[in-house]
Structure 1
Amino acid sequence: MKGVEFAMFRFFETLVHPYPSGEPKTPPRGLLAFLHYYSRPVLPLLGVMSLLTALVSVAEVVFFSYMGDLVDWLSNAERENFFAEHGASLASMALMIVVGFPLLILLQSLLTHQSIFGNYPMIGRWLAHRHILRQSMAFFQDEFAGRVSQKVMQTALAIRETVMKLTNLFVYVVVYFTGAMFLVGSADPWLMLPLVVWLAGYIGIMVIFVPRLRRVSMAQADARAQMTGRIVDSYTNIQTIKLFADSLREQAYARDAMDTFMQTVHRQMRLVTLMTVTLTVLNSLLLASVAGIAIMAWYFSFISLGVIAVAIALVMRIRFMSDWILWEVAGLFENIGTVQDGINTIAQTPAITDQPNAKELMVPRGEIRFEQLHFHYGKVRDDECHPRVIEDLSLTIQPGEKVGIIGRSGAGKSTLANLLLRFYDLETGHILIDGQDIVEVTQESLRRQIGMVTQDTSLLHRSIRDNIRYGSPHATDEQVMEAARRAHADVFLDTLSDPQGRRGLDAHVGERGVKLSGGQRQRIAIARVLLKNAPILVLDEATSALDSEVEAAIQEQLYALMKGKSVLAIAHRLSTIAMLDRLVVMDRGRIIETGTHEELLRRDGLYAALWKRQSGGFLGEDVGNAADTEKTIVDEA
């Protein structure tokens, strides 16, 4: 029996695939088009569900009609002949009530709950999440991560609720109310009058209250997302909050968002109270008027007792339905508000997209050419106050050449690396890798060919193994461990554990790697790049979080990793890049000096001034000796 039950549930659960394949697209911004975009996989089943809902509505009206007939039969029939005259009708109705109607409800429930209810919002989450992942870095810099995730989760559920409420309400109300009107009208047309008047009043209530509820719900959805975003922001930056010991200000920051949310709640509840009282008065008038007309019609022998029973029962049913319908309509518009709010976030076209004919990037040599780049993060340009971050920059890195980028903070060094990775699109100019414009290749193939270690290393809240293997998903455990050893991360792996008892490579590192020190995170990031082994290497303060002893040990591996690769290394600690093939000095988005360490010192320009300020580098080592040591390491590698 359990096997049959499981097979039945499993059949309906697999009628809809919750993870549609194909490339994600930007959803349309119109409400109906947006709903249709995320509903396409379930539209056939929604049609079948609507048909079943209509049949349920018809069955309920037939039950009321039969109840009226039964009252008339019982009031007029003789006991001796009752079953002979009405036994067949009683048996058929009993069969319909006991067998037919439950089977109809079973089929409707299986389709609704097994096929649609769980799969439908997952389709929305899956498609929206994949689309959000394609957004540019600027998108995530302008949004709270918690706010975006809240929008994805809320909107997916709201899409399901909106579409299902629309279909259920429309079908159920139209079929049921039409059947009720026909049933009482066929007995006495005057009984239709209170229903028509009630319907007009009911529509009036919805016209008055529902749009107001919709506006409040939209404001509430936005306030809820804002509140969630602030709370998540606090938890994400809990170390900063505790470091500055200002929990009262943080509480005030969260409470401000909570107060805004509560204001929308109070506005909503006021409308709900007024709407409930108004509807109760309208329903009471309907019951009194239908009962009065029915009793008078019976008094003058226009209708039978069965019609009175049907009319009163239908009115009582409509009274209960009216509360349900009004709340469903209010909930419908609340969900519509949530969907419309979600559209503003989810339906944004990615700022960085692949061209329709984009190809895979191939890097047989590793030549990088920056040709007349201009870039200023989309800000309005003012030559004196707001110069471009990158201004008419041209630079060629030969295959296998190691180039260091130096400059004051804000000179445009990290921006140059971000443009190479195409986190942003240029205003003018071109970046070419082995003659291929990075705009004409796929973003994923571009970033697969570049290994990067940044100074602000954040890890995924997964295991150490998963974090190291992220750049090379098919690497074996032996290769992962070898990369960890080369990055000197193996020295602390045995000490790591998490609350679930996982240890070593299996230990989870916490959100953004918060359970590890800065140096430990950087070593994991270096291990990840070592394992990736891409032909182009970008180092943005790659060893900034390491102490001198560990840095010296890891640099041996970095120099070995650099062999045969084109390298772009950014550093404030000049000793870490002084021995590269060529140094490029940037200032205010331009290249102002270029040459080897010795050449730039002899030129006595900005580089020489920065070098003198660092007193020969933070490591305090002799440049000539360092050069010999590092050259030996590279040659031996």
Structure 2
Amino acid sequence: MKLGDMIDAFRPAEGPPPQTLGAFMAWTLSGAWPALWLATFLSVLAGMLEAGTAWILGRVIDSAGASGPEAYFDGSNTATLVLAVAFFLIARPLLFGLSSASNAIIVQPNVNPLVLSRLNRWTLGQSVRFFDEDFAGRIAQKQMQCARAVTDVASDAINVVAFALASLAGSLALLASINGIMTVVFAAWLVLYFLLIAMFLPRIRKLAAGRAGARAMVSGQIVDTITNIKTVKLFAHADHEDRAALGALGHFRERALEFGQLSAQFRFWLMMLAGLLPVILIGGTLLLWQRGSATQGDIVAAGAVAIRIAQMTGWVSMSLMAVYASLGEVEDGMRTLTPRIRIEDAPEAADLVVPRGQIEFDQVSFAYGRETGGIENITLTIAPGEKLGIVGASGAGKSTLVSLLLRLYKGESGQIRIDGQDIDGVTQESLRRQIGMVTQETAMFNRSARDNILYGRPDATEEELIAAAEKAEAHEFILKLKDHKGREGYAAHLGERGVKLSGGQRQRIALARAILKDAPILVLDEATSALDSEVEASIQTALHRVMEGKTVLAIAHRLSTLSEMDRIIVLDAGRIAEVGTHDALLAKGGLYAKFWERQSGGFIRAEAAE
């Protein structure tokens, strides 16, 4: 096994992430502990060498003092010199090199992707409501921030904390070999040092969490603005967005200043305490030497230990402050990412099998946790291969009905069955594999046209891909695409959310994706309402192709697109108000007929339901 493969960087974690800091850290690092303990052991060995360095210097000085300059190299000191050379040229470089390699090759390159993959996997499993209630940029920032902070904590705990504790333990042993009084003095200094840390670091952790939250809000604000940049420009609101960004940045600056002020205070008292150590250790050893209780080598050893620990004190304390700051960021990320706003599959959930495509809504109600809104007591059976139109004013419950079918939300009462199978008892992945969907706001990734179409079925062949594009009447315009990097045709990237394409082109890509998926159930959610009549007419043939042989639910404000549906339901305030064919509903003279009479340019106006 290669050194860098000691941690499986993409190993899934068991169970959900805990919501207490210690347990959460253990969850993020589970499976990596053997490698982390090895790296810690090597760091401890390297730390103990610090005291060994001072001890060997002391022995060399003592042997030089005993032999004098004339007789030093006469052979009596060979063992001491060989030991010193072997220590400095073999043992020390080897152990420090192994310790560095374990951290740089085993820990840091693997812990970050391990943690980030686990957080991302958990976040992807959250329900739509989780994403509805937060900034996309803030969620992404929290994932990246938390993974980096966990990596920093693990790395610094090994490279700094374990190393420093081993150095302090070795220093205590060295001073004990010189004189017990010096050991007591050093122990008293350590008590003061740890008291200082205990006083400052919890406050640092708290301020670091606040700073991390403020930083994430800046990212969320900026990403939100950039995501909607066309709206910003169309409404000439650059100044407004600038003020919003400055407000978030101002809050972040205040939190950063609080953190910086506390950090400066900590640094001052730390350096004061660090400066005290060489004074008391070297001064004390000089007094012992004066009384004949210490050698010149002991003075050198105590001085080397004192200066090294004084230097290390600043480095270790700043690292500890960084560790506590990172723990604050981990805690902040944990609070954002771990709440269980998700729809879980039942333990015994099976894959959905759809031989026919019949859909049944049985007294289904859902109001998004509120008293009103959504849908109420919907009972509806859609026959296999039936094409059902769904009509209603904004807020009538059309999209809620479809979202419940896809289990993007969990119904509050009632059952939805597909070919007799309760969708709550099947896996969400298998459910959504059996349902194709084309929406008004077509989802495009900033990837190639090929990748966007293959999202419908990633294992499709090139021939199947092109056939789907041809059926969607997308093949010809795709061949003419060219992006800013010179990639052409199916390799050309479409820009974020497909901004480089017209509305009609995006719809054709979405239709090609749905054709390639070839699911037995198809949902068209306002699939053509964003297009003008001429563009809509040009893709009607593609729409008919994608609907062939499938059970179809088609939501539309443009009623002309529903005239060929087998049946139409009219939703009003979350209930089914009317059911029938286009002609029958017109003849009835009810809500549908009013919608038809009052539509403007083929669309239902908002006031039509009043």
Give the structure-1-normalised TM-score: 0.92
Instruction: Give aligned-pair identity as a percent.
Output: 42
Equivalent residue, structure 2, for 1:499: 484
Counterpart residue identity of residue 464, structure 1: A
Equivalent residue, structure 2, for 1:96: 87
Structure 1 residue 104: Cα displacement: 1.7
Equivalent residue, structure 2, for 1:524: 509
Equivalent residue, structure 2, for 1:153: 144
Matched, 1:536 2:526: no
Aligned pairs for 1:304-315 (under 5 A) are 304-315=295-306
Equivalent residue, structure 2, for 1:343: 334
3-state SS of paired residue (1:85): coil
RMSD of aligned C-alpha atoms?
Answer: 1.8
3-state SS of paired residue (1:72): helix
Counterpart residue identity of residue 467, structure 1: N
Aligned pairs for 1:158-173 (under 5 A) are 158-173=149-164
Aligned pairs for 1:186-225 (under 5 A) are 186-225=177-216
Distance 2:83 2:277 in 1: 33
Segment of structure 1 superposing worse, 165-174 or 570-579: 165-174
Distance 1:132 1:83 in 2: 72
Unaligned runs of 5+ in 1: 1-9, 382-386, 620-637
Matched, 1:42 2:27: no
Give the structure-2-normalised TM-score: 0.95
Equivalent residue, structure 1, for 2:324: 333
What CA deviation, in whole Å up to 9, does each residue of 1:215-254 have, x standing for no partner?
A: 1100011111111111111111111111111111100111
Matched, 1:64 2:49: no
1:251/1:618 CA distance change after superposition, 3 Å:
closer
Equivalent residue, structure 2, for 1:27: 17
Segment of structure 1 superposing worse, 106-115 or 251-260: 106-115
Counterpart residue identity of residue 69, structure 1: R
Structure 1 residue 616: Cα displacement: 8.9
3-state SS of paired residue (1:584): strand
Counterpart residue identity of residue 418, structure 2: I
Distance 1:100 1:370 in 2: 74
Matched, 1:77 2:67: yes
1:199/1:81 CA distance change after superposition, 3 Å:
closer
Distance 1:448 1:62 in 2: 64
Counterpart residue identity of residue 198, structure 2: V
Moved over 6 A (4+): none
Equivalent residue, structure 1, for 2:472: 487
Segment of structure 1 superposing worse, 110-119 or 601-610: 110-119
What CA deviation, in whole Å up to 9, does each residue of 1:376-435 have, x standing for no partner?
A: 1112x1xxxxx2310111110011111101111110011111111110000000000000
What CA deviation, in whole Å up to 9, does each residue of 1:537-564 have, x standing for no partner?
A: 1111111233323322322232233232
3-state SS of paired residue (2:498): coil
Distance 1:494 1:542 in 2: 24
Matched, 1:233 2:224: yes
What CA deviation, in whole Å up to 9, does each residue of 1:520-541 have, x standing for no partner?
A: 2112111111121111111111
Counterpart residue identity of residue 410, structure 2: D
Distance 2:65 2:192 in 1: 36
What CA deviation, in whole Å up to 9, does each residue of 1:560-618 have, x standing for no partner?
A: 33232111111011010022111101100000111111111111100000111127946
Select 2:267's aligned residue among 239, 259, 276: 276
Matched, 1:601 2:586: yes
3-state SS of paired residue (1:465): helix
Counterpart residue identity of residue 560, structure 1: R
Contact 2:47 2:165 in 1 (8 A): no
3-state SS of paired residue (2:460): coil
- Report the count of equivalent residues: 603
Structure 1 residue 201: Cα displacement: 1.7
1:259/1:567 CA distance change after superposition, 3 Å:
same
Equivalent residue, structure 2, for 1:442: 427
Structure 1 residue 131: Cα displacement: 1.3
Select 2:278's aligned residue among 261, 271, 287: 287
Counterpart residue identity of residue 272, structure 1: S
Counterpart residue identity of residue 448, structure 2: S
Equivalent residue, structure 1, for 2:608: none
